[in-house]
Structure formats: structure tokens, C-alpha cells
A and B are shown apart, each in its own frame.
Chain A
Amino acid sequence: GNSVTQMEGPVTLSEEAFLTINCTYTATGYPSLFWYVQYPGEGLQLLLKATKADDKGSNKGFEATYRKETTSFHLEKGSVQVSDSAVYFCALSDRGGANNLFFGTGTRLTVIP
């Protein structure tokens, strides 16, 4: 079956620190991989995605590379800001017809000045 395992939080970092949030997946086919972010009081927003092996998704300074050999899609950012404080969800989509997203449990990031 399909599943996503995500690094447990919460994660607290100082501003300008390097961020890594680990994500590994299990899928029966060839999934697309996503990172969603949820800011306080708001809905989930797509942060970045990758649709095939070795693709790198990037947005707002965040990056993640689709690694088929390690079934991973780790989220990284070189220098976090206070405004990056949010909950981050790794997800996969692995169905040809519908777009069923399988989510990880989320990692709460707090960035302190």
C-alpha cells in the first residue's frame, strides 16, 4: 500500500539555521511527491512537488529531491526565517485516475529570532 513516514517534531530552530525535514515513502506504483505547508489558522498550501525520480522541486528557498533508490523526499532550506514557522506535510499521489493524496503526520517548525 501507500504510506508516508515523516520526521516527528516539533522542530525549533534559530533564524538563519539550516532546515532538514525527513520524509520517506512506500508506494505501489510511480508516485508524485509533494510538500504542503500549513500556516497558523490557514489551509494546506502546496509548497513544492516532484513527479519523477531525480526531479527537484523548489519554492521560496525550500528544496526537495525525489530519490527513488532511497524512497525519500527530504525537505531542506538553507536559512530559515521566522515567517517559515508552520506545519509541513509530506504527501504522495499514486493513482492514475483520481488524485488521492496520502499524507504524513506533519512536522511543526518553529523559528525563533
Chain B
Amino acid sequence: DAMVIQNPRYQVTQFGKPVTLSCSQTLNHNVMYWYQQKSSQAPKLLFHYYDKDFNNEADTPDNFQSRRPNTSFCFLDIRSPGLGDAAMYLCATSRDQGQSYEQYFGPGTRLTVT
């Protein structure tokens, strides 16, 4: 089945130690998104790629970076995680941009910072 896969499902990192979260998709979608969801809060968009074009949300901290080496994969890099970065990180894809294109979500990676 075509799907959005996130690895790992649970990640523990130490304060200040760089960490990378992975997302892959078999849908061949053009757009890939990263959302941050803190406990009992709404998911919040960090950035998205439209093909190779990177689009950062204005209030996304510089500590968060992303890479998309090819259509199938997208990575979220947190350069120096703080305790406040503990959250669920959701990857999503859509075939194209625009309100009419559904976003397909992966199961998420829960990040713990110790």
C-alpha cells in the first residue's frame, strides 16, 4: 500500500545533541510537510517542500532544518534540541499545492529530550 512512513516512531536524544527524523513516501507526491505537535496542542507547520523548493514558516526556529534529497525522502534535523522541542513530529505529503489537495500523514515520531 502507498503510504507515508516515519522512522523511528520514538526517539530519545540528549539536550543539545543533534537529532534527525526521517520521513519517506511511496505516493510520489510533490509536496512534503513537517508539523510539530506538542502535548495537548494543535499540530503546527514548521516547513514544507514543493518538489525541491523549501518553504520555511516565519516563526520556525533556526534550530530546525530540513533536507529533501529526492522525491521519496525528507528529513527533519534539530541542531541543538532543547527541552522545549520534545513533541510529536508529523510528516505529511500532498500531490500538489492548494486547498483541494488532501494531505496524507505518517504515524509521527515522538521525540523525548533528556
Interface residues of A (CB under 8 A from B): 4, 31-32, 36, 41-46, 49, 51, 89, 93-106
Contact = CB atoms under 8 A, between A and B. Distances in A.
Interface size, B (range): 20 to 34
A89 B108 contact: no
Contact of A44 (B55, B57, B94, B105): B105
Contacts of B43: 44, 89, 101, 103
Contacts of B97: 97-99
A44 B89 CA distance: 12
Determine chain A's interface SS by DSSP, over half rule: loop
Given A43-B90, A43-B106, A32 B42 contact: no
Interface of B: 4, 6, 31, 40-45, 48, 50, 55, 57, 90, 92, 94, 97-108
Contacts of B100: 32, 51
Nearest to A94: B99
A-B CB proximity, top 6 nearest: A43-B105, A103-B42, A44-B105, A32-B99, A43-B107, A93-B99
A13 to B, nearest CB: 21
B103 A101 contact: yes
B105 A104 contact: no
